[in-house]
Amino acid sequence: MSEAAVPGYRVWALPGMPEVRPGDDLVKLIAAATADGVPQLVDGDVLLVTSKIVSKAEGRVVEADDREAAIDRETVRVVARRGTLRIVQNRQGLVMAAAGVDASNTPSGTVLLLPEDPDASARALRAGLRATLGVDVGVVISDTFGRPWRSGLTDVAIGAAGVRVLDDLRGGTDAYGNPLSATVVATADELAAAGDLVKGKATGLPVAVVRGLGHLAGEPDDGPGARAMVRSAEDDMFRLGTSEAVREAVTGRRTVRSFTGEPVDPGAVRRAVAAALTAPAPHHTTPWRFVLLESPAARVRLLDAMRDAWTADLRADGRSAESVAKRVRRGEVLRAAPYLAVPCLVTEGAHPYPDARRSTAEREMFLVAHGAGIQNFLVALAGERLGSAWVSSTMFCKDVVREVLGLPAEWEPMGAVAIGHPAQAPGPRPPRAAEDFVVVR
């Protein structure tokens, strides 16, 4: 194989870049650096520019005796916190340490903010180099990121123009003919990391060039920019930090009464049962049992028997036919769900007492523990992105439920939980002020 046919690329840093100050013309500075005894830029090259010099040129240097206050202003939400370190989502949509606010390589008493719109900055650089040097290059603006599950820092793309930021290989095959179904390569990040190998972190070389990867440059109309690399919230399995995840699971849990026809993963329900079993319980007991109705026949058989029992009870109470039909319809949420769970209370291990007062209190302890288990179950289902509705109906016909499901006499059905994928997003929850429910003594 000839040398020309060997796949490869070349990357080098531009020497001679001066200290950048607010208002400087980066295009002129880069054009001058490329003319000073180094290879000239040609079509298909990719220019890799450290975000710090873009921020300086754009005047994103701000007075800030308190860096934390600057981080607060740039933060949209806090994802995770450990001591003084904060991982946050910033105004540009990036999740990173300290919102990208940098106190290094800037005069004392000031901090550097990220470019206001890194993609727009990349487009301006690309257009300026085309007008000044007559070359069509790609531009990547990079910043340094830490990464979940991996030690060490690396440069990634926060802005891009004229570069294929994502290389979608889905639909193709590998060398063995296996289909590629999930392979989308973050090419702009790989370019940024390659440039960092020659720029370094403290060498005063903020700009690099990659040559030999022209198939990644020259995107029409500048391309989608690095913003396209920010994973959408609905697709991000790891979007939430630890504290956020707990709050989201608890406060985001809603009663869902309308479901799609998508099947429910039985494994997800069993994981929710496992979460239920972590609830507190008296005397080291385990008062929770869950009957999982996974077959349509089992669900129909139970719900038909319950409907007949409710109807008979309501008629015996003297209810009108209209009133009976209205109340029976309230249970239709169970029939519409693709999956049902019937939580049952078992008071095995309860202490016997000779008087009614203490016996009642003993039972109430078990009821509270069982309720805690159901709440854990519902919250865990929400964490699995499953909707649910706890319906009390089985408590009104326990004998019928036990008979249809073949349950032991000591198992007490405590309602039923309809489970499925929500047919639509729930509406906003009415606000409740915690102080309205608190009494301090």
- Strands across the sheet containing 85-90: 75-82, 85-90, 95-97
Please tell us whether the domain made up of 7-60+115-235 is placed in CATH 3.90.400.10. no
Q: What is the mean pLDDT of the chain?
A: 88
The total number of residues written for the chain in this structure: 441
Question: What does the domain layout of the chain look like in residue ranges?
Answer: 7-60+115-235, 252-437
Structure tokens of 39? Answer: 């290879």
Cα atoms in the 13 Å half-sphere on the side-chain side of 303: 25
Which range is least confidently modeled, 42-46, 229-233, 274-278?
229-233
Percent of the chain with pLDDT over 70: 96
Residue 171 has pLDDT above 70, yes or no: yes
* pLDDT at 193 > cutoff 90: yes
The answer to whether residue 82 scores a pLDDT higher than 80 is no
pLDDT of residue 194: 94
CA–CA separation, 142 and 226 (whole Å):
10
Q: Tell me how far CA of residue 265 lies from CA of 45, 249, 268, 300, 353, in angstroms.
A: 49, 18, 5, 20, 43
Does 108 score more than 60 pLDDT? yes
Which of the residue ranges 93-102, 286-295, 363-372 would you say has the lowest mean pLDDT? 93-102
* 14 compared with 332, residue with greater pLDDT: 14
Task: Give the global pTM.
Answer: 0.65
Does residue 201 surpass a pLDDT of 80? Answer: no
List strand residue ranges (DSSP E) for 162-206, in order: 167-168, 184-185
pLDDT on residue 243: 65
Specify the pLDDT at position 325. Answer: 81
Q: Which of 12-21, 58-67, 278-287 has the lowest mean pLDDT?
A: 58-67
Predicted pLDDT of residue 315: 86
Q: How many other C-beta atoms are found inside a 10 Å radius of the C-beta of residue 283?
A: 13
pLDDT of 427 higher than 50:
yes
Q: Is the pLDDT of residue 281 over 50?
A: yes
Q: Each residue of 136-157: pLDDT tens digit?
A: 999 999 999 988 888 999 999 9
| pLDDT tens-digit map of 211-255 | 999 888 877 789 999 999 988 877 777 777 766 667 777 777 888
What pLDDT, on the 0 to 100 scale, is given for residue 202?
A: 62
Label residues 348-387 b or e (16+ Cβ within 10 Å = b): eebeeeeeeeeeeebeebbeebbebbbbbbbbbbbbbebb
Specify the pLDDT at position 1.
Answer: 45
**Domain covering 252-437: architecture:** 3-Layer(aba) Sandwich (3.40)
Section 329-338 average pLDDT? 82
The predicted pLDDT at position 84 comes to 79
CA triplet 151, 197, 58: central angle to 5 degrees? 95
* pLDDT tens digits, one per residue of 360-388: 999 999 999 999 999 999 999 988 889 99
